Structure formats: structure tokens, C-alpha cells
Structure 1
């Protein structure tokens, strides 16, 4: 009986150990499978190897393969589709050339306008700052695509904006061209062109009074696409959205539209002359100057110009109280320019 008892106990111990071992292996395999199921931004938009990134908390990365950062750069699903999310507070750590925060890609490859390049994006803006002054042009706005110069004045020949005033259902999509200023850069300015809704110059009559809601605007969460094709020094822009007219523009980046004082648009005089002496642009604009693309969420609601709430720079408080921008992209490409006649 003792031998049978010992054998029974031994068998039970071996069986228990075996079952525990199997269970541990299964748990380990489950964890490995779970880790494999993580969807990274480069799984959704595969072009991430061509970019580096700066996030709203100051995080930088040159390698975006299997890279994400909670609350700044990650993947979300809307029930049917995976989207790459770019989220950034009103106040955080940003680049040396701006007081605005961003969770934004910067193209590694640089190019001159004569060589050019092409950038596309399909996106929806999910949130813009709900705090700010309605009479400040940058309030309640986010830039979702750029061309940025990397020499000279380091100005921006293109910024694609989305802006929505609090209380409005519809927001505006517009693009700004910043001159490559002749001489020193204190007289620089942007000329703004509406796509759907208003341009940059339309503001409220007071800090608390918004203009009328745009009739042909874009709502938060409403999908739209842009294409930026710089070919042989000419920038070709195309904007598309279901239920809206497709809009196209053409702008030279190698020959200025504003080489003399007489060429400066009235929009610019009305919006800048009270603050600074507006300058002319150099005649060759950005010809021969190194540029690169940017894409993501470049929050324009910085405290200096918009009087936005920043809660002492506490990012969690900003997120909780609406002081942030959030942009979702489901498709995007970057590469060589294309002859528009062959597209």
C-alpha cells in the first residue's frame, strides 16, 4: 500500500508539474501572439522609413519602424479602418524655429523646387483647440501638411490648414504661402487661399465673437485628401472630399508673384500692416533652395498669439480640457514629382 501511495503521489506531482509547464508555455505563446498583434503606424502607412518625427512632448525619433508613442503617435481604428493618429497639446516642447507644438513627420530626403517631390494624404481632423481668441488667425487651427525650407530664412512655401471655431459644426481648409523675404526676414508674411470655407484672414470681431459659420466647410471627423506635386519648380495642389467640389491650384516656387510693393495683396496689408512693415519677396522665390515635406499635426494654438489655455504646460490637463489638436491619416505617400500632364 505504501508503494502504491508513493507512486500515486509521484504521478500526481509529475502531472501537476507537466500541466503547469504546458500552461506557462501557452501563456508565453499567448503573450507572443498578443505582441505580434500590435499595429504600428508603419503597418498602416508603410512610408515611415522616409521620415523622422518630433512629438508634442519633445520626443524625437529617426527610426519609425515599429515606433509609437501613447497619446502622441499611434494607431486607432474607427470600427472599419486603421488610422495613424497624430496628437499634440497647445503647449509642449517644440522645435527651435517655432513656439507651436507638433506631432509631425519631417521628410529625410531634401530637394530643391526644380527637382521637386510629391506628397499625398487622406485624413480627418478629429479635434482642434477649443480654447483661444476668435480674433487671432491661428486660434483653433492645425497644419496637416507642409513644405518647409531648410536654408536661408527657413520659411514655409506651403502650409495646409484646418480651422474650426468653437460652436461651429463646419470648419475651413485653406493653404498659406509664406514669402521668401527679400532682405532680412522681419517683414515676412503669409498669403492665404481658401479651399473649403474661409481663408486664414477671416477672424472674429472680438476675442469671444466668431464669424458666421462657413457654408461649404468641413466638419471634424469628415474625410478629405490633398496632393502636393512640385514639378519643375511649379507647385500643383489638389484637394478632394466626398460631397465637396474638387479644387486645384497652381503656384510657382521659382518666380515670385510679389516682387514689388505694388504686388502685395490687400489681404496681407489688412492683416499685417498694423503689426509690421511688410516686405517684398525675392524675385526667384525659393528657386535653388533646399526644401522638404512635413505631415501630421502641427498645432497652431500657441499661447503667444492665440491666448489659448495651456494649464501650466501640463499635457494631461490640456488633453482633458480641449487644449490640443488631433489628426488621423489612413493613407499617405511621398516620392518623386510627376508631370501633371501625365497624371
Structure 2
């Protein structure tokens, strides 16, 4: 009887332990299932560009189809504007085909942020900083056309007057080259009413400037030794204060470059001021104007950031500097993306400083948005 009682106690204890073990297994199974479910939910969650670079309240987004998406918080577009991830983290992707509907009067497509406030150079204290890498430029174009195979990744744009651009930051890489060039442009704010006479002056940062072109449609110049590869990071800083534009360009393994330009006092106000680069590129096609003496003084200016594709399908006979004659597949987006006829730029960081004297830029969008 005593042995039987002991056996009963042991058996009962085993049942309790067994039950506890089963309960633990059920609990662990449920926990694992819940955790997996949460992990799957997180991995499937859309990461919006505004979560990667959280400063979108300062911009409106123009897409590669010419539309204005407005302030792009919690917004993406699978064709033009979305996020991507690599070993270094999350990036915001700006993508634009060689041809499609464009914004305003431009011949070129853009997926680009445009600042919703404008500031006046003489009283400005405004700044834009960005870190990016260019992932693709057009695979086709005429090598004799200076704009072929290039994309603008940052700008200062005037909202008034001729709506010219005191700054455009370019990346350009010829087919077959490993390295491309980074350079920046100053576009004169043309004196008088005839803005067709305007021209750009190009300054190299790493590699060549805009004026280095091919000797024939498919013959390319020498590859720049100190250029930037596709997928290689670089950064720019643009500061405008008291009428002066200060630029700084940095990239690991490359010399840091700085530049200064007066935006309220022209150095190109007389025909004798036209530089040799302009005489070679622009004067032969009738773009031989001079600038207002006070340059961009009195005009509201604003920053832009993104992918402004400079390669288009227009015939070089129309303008040998800006009309690339590239493949566009009659504007078919899928076909252009399939064979590399697009520009793609990734940004991983950007910051903007807006001065107290900046005012609304809504009139610019009203003028240039599609009706």
C-alpha cells in the first residue's frame, strides 16, 4: 500500500511536469508565430521617402510625368520616386526617362523637389546640403551634344523674371567610361526681354566641364582620371548669404572643392566679358547675350533637388548643346527603363536651412503646373 501511494505521487508529479512542458511548447509556438507575424509585417511595411529624409515639409515634388505631387509626406510612386536599400542603408530614389511629359516650359523630364519658399539673394541666409550617388545616366545620345549622358542633381532656380538658374549641379558619364564628371553651371540672367540669348558657364569639380564633348556622334573624349563612378557617393553644400553663393563638394578619396559666386553683381554685363568657353559653345548658335548688371538681385530664388534628366530625344539640329537625339521609344516608359534610357539618382541624406526672410513660392507652381 505504501509503495502504491509512492507510485501514485510520482505518476502525478510526472503528469504535472508533462502538462507544464506541453503548455510551454504551446506558449513558445504561439510566441514564435506572433514574432514571425510581426517580423513579416515589418518587412512588408512600406518605407516612404519622407521617412528616410524627413524634411519634405519644405518642398513640393514634381514627378517624371510632369505632375505636381505636392508635399510628399507618406508618398511614393513606383515609376519615379520610392526607396531602396543597400549595405549602407535606405535611400530615396529619383528616376526620370529621356522623354515624357515635362513640367513648365522645360524640354526635359524631372523627378525633383522644388522649395515651397523663395528667398532673395541680397538678404538670403539659406542653405541646402545633400549626399547622393548617381546610379544611371542615359545609354544613348549624341556625344557632340554637351548635355548628352548627363543629369542635374541640385539647383538654384529663379521664380521671377526669365526664371533662369544661377546654379545647376551636373553629373555626366560617357558610355564605356568607368568614371564620370561632376561640374556646376551658372546661367546668366539675361539683360532685356530676349532670353533666347542666355548661356551657361561651366566649372569642373571632379573630371571635365560641360564643354568637353565627343568628336563625332559615337566618339567619346578621354575618360577623366579624377572622376566619379556610377554608384560612388558625393556631397554638396550650397549656401547663399548676403548675395554670395558658396559651394562645397566632398567625396571620399577626392579633393574637397570650394567655389564662390556673386549673385547680385554680374561679371558678364558686357560683350567683352563673354568667356572663351561660351564663345566656343554658345555664340555659334546665337546665344550671345549679356547679363543684367545686378544679376539675380531682386528676384526670388529657391532650391531644387533630385533627378533632372538633361538627355532628351530632340534633334541636335535644333540646339547642338541641349538637344541630344537620344532614344525615347516615343515616350514609352517601360521600354526606356528596359534599355537604360533614363537618369536615376539616389539620396541618403539632405538638410535645408530656410531664412526668416523667405516668402511663399506658390506663384511659381501656379505658373508652371499643368492645368
TM-score, length of structure 1 as denominator length: 0.88
Quick one: distance in 1 between partners of 2:343 and 2:287? 32
Aligned to 2:180: 171
Contact 1:146 1:294 (8 Å CA) reproduced = yes
RMSD: 1.9
Distance in 2 (alpha carbons) for counterparts of 1:168 and 1:44: 31
Match of 1:309 among 321, 327, 331: 327
Task: Tell me what 1:239 maps to.
Answer: 249
Q: What's the offset of the Cα at 1:97?
A: 1.9
1:143–1:300: 8 Å Cα contact kept in structure 2? Answer: yes
- Residue deviations 1:239-269, cap 9 Å, x none? 0000000000000000001111111100001
Q: How many residues align?
A: 313
Q: In structure 1, which of residues 118, 122, 134 is the aligned counterpart of residue 131 of structure 2?
A: 122
The aligned counterpart of 1:42 is 50
The alpha-carbon deviation at position 272 of structure 1 amounts to 1.0
Matched residues in 2 for 1:198 and 1:31: separation?
Answer: 48
> What is the match of residue 210 of structure 1?
220
The equivalent position to 2:301 in structure 1, one of 268, 286, 291, is: 291
State the partner residue of 1:327.
345
Q: Matched residue of 1:43: which SS?
A: helix
The 2-side partners of 1:38 and 1:279 are apart by 50
Deviation of the 1:35 alpha carbon? 8.7
Normalized against structure 2, the TM-score is what?
Answer: 0.81
**Partners in 1 of 2:86 and 2:97 — Cα distance?**
22
Distance in 2, matches of 1:80 and 1:197, equals 26
Q: Which residue of 1 aligns with 2:7?
A: none
Query: Which SS does the other structure have where 2:91 is aligned?
Result: strand
Structure 2 unaligned blocks of 5 or more: 1-29, 315-322, 357-371
Do 1:230 and 1:337's aligned partners in 2 also have CA atoms closer than 8 Å? no
Cα distance change, pair 59–277 in 1 and its aligned pair in 2 (3 A): closer
Partner residue in 2 for 1:269: 279
Residue 7 of structure 1 is matched in structure 2 by none
Q: Tell me which residue corresponds to 1:67.
A: 75
Q: Tell me which residue corresponds to 1:55.
A: 63
Instruction: Name 2:85's counterpart in structure 1.
Output: 77
Aligned 1:93-172 pairs, distance under 5 A: 93-116=101-124, 117-172=126-181
> CA separation in 2, counterparts of 1:96 and 1:140?
22
Residue 194 (1) aligns with residue 204 (2): yes
Aligned to 2:361: none
Shift of 1:273: 1.5
In structure 1, runs of 5+ residues without a counterpart are: 1-21, 339-343
Q: Shift of the alpha carbon at 1:62?
A: 1.3
Secondary structure of 1:186 counterpart: helix
3-state secondary structure, aligned to 2:135: strand
